[in-house]
Amino acid sequence: MRIPARSVCTAIRDDIVSGVFERGSRLAEEQLARRYGVSRVPVREALRTLESEGFVVSRRHAGACVAEPTAQEAADLLEIRALLEPLGAARAARRRTEAHLKVLRGLVRLGQERARHSQGEDLRALGGWFHETLVQASVSPGLITLLTQLRHKIAWMYAVEQPTQPVECWSEHGAIVDAVARGDAERARALTAAHAERGTRGYRLRIAPLAPHGSAVRVSQHSVNTASVRH
């Protein structure tokens, strides 16, 4: 079975975001193929995709390397996200299904319960699921793709602090869902914009020393998980 390049792309991207591949380090096709248990063809395709997404750059005499974004580029991503997420919420108010609403309301109930009990790690995951579901409810493939890429890159560049007032944060989530449920696009947009602006204050740039070029991979290795690959 030929493993799709998208599966290899996901694996490499995850390793970049998690820091397995340091910024600036070289991504040798042969080494990557061994790491993920695939041929060089899907690796080559995956690297082209990751270059288009901004995770990888091609350097003369070095080939593919992990990108080294500047602080300004990182700040731009937060600004772009703050513009796109309200658009997604407005579209969700017009296009959401009852299934989307059911999931969003369930996440809000669970988030509010966890916030009252100060269960921080659960809240981090639930917050991610909430925002992912909200954009899925926009039923806008292009917007979903853009925001998904932004989330990956922001997770790579920033550490996120827990909200100092998690109960209020999940109350804001609940208000957004109420606006989406009523089909009030402008209120959903405004609430999401205000929420994103407050949340951005908790983002802190990751300071990671660069590895020497060529020392790309930590000791641990794993193969691409093919269990979910469709035949």
Same domain, 160 and 96: yes
Same domain, 185 and 220: no
Same domain, 129 and 190: yes
pLDDT tens, position by position, 45-85: 999 999 999 999 999 888 999 999 999 999 999 999 999 99
| Structural domain of 79 | 71-205
What's the CATH code of the domain at 190? 1.20.120.530
pLDDT more than 90, % of the chain: 74
**Average confidence (pLDDT) over 202-211:** 68
| pLDDT number for residue 231 | 38
What's the CATH code of the domain at 15? 1.10.10.10
| pLDDT number for residue 5 | 76
Distance CA 157, CA 70 (A): 10
More confident site: 146 or 212 = 146
Same domain, 109 and 198: yes
Indicate if the pLDDT at residue 229 is higher than 50. no
**Average confidence (pLDDT) over 196-224:** 62
| pLDDT number for residue 119 | 64
Give 151's contacts (C-beta < 8 A, 6+ positions apart): 128, 131, 132
Indicate if the pLDDT at residue 150 is higher than 90. yes
74, β-bridge pairs: none
Instruction: State residue 81 phi and psi, 5-degree precision.
Output: -60, -40
Among 56-70, 83-97, 210-224, which stretch is predicted with the lowest mean pLDDT? 210-224
What is the count of structural domains for the chain?
A: 2
| pLDDT number for residue 157 | 93
| pLDDT number for residue 159 | 87
**Can you say whether the dihedral through the CA atoms of 112, 113, 119, 123 is positive or negative?**
negative
Give 86's contacts (C-beta < 8 A, 6+ positions apart): 188, 189, 190, 192, 193, 196
Same domain, 139 and 195: yes
Same domain, 32 and 86: no
More confident site: 222 or 219 = 222
Question: Quick check: pTM over 0.75?
Answer: yes
| pLDDT number for residue 123 | 85
**Average confidence (pLDDT) over 5-27:** 93
What are the residue ranges of helices labelled H in 54-184? Answer: 71-95, 98-116, 120-136, 141-157, 166-182
Tokens of 226: 């093919």
C-alpha dist (Å) from residue 65 to 19, 57, 58, 104? 13, 5, 6, 39
Indicate if the pLDDT at residue 158 is higher than 50. yes
Give 150's contacts (C-beta < 8 A, 6+ positions apart): 77, 80, 81, 84
Burial 205-230 (b: 16+ CB within 10 A, else e): eeeeeebeeeebbeeeeeebeeeeee
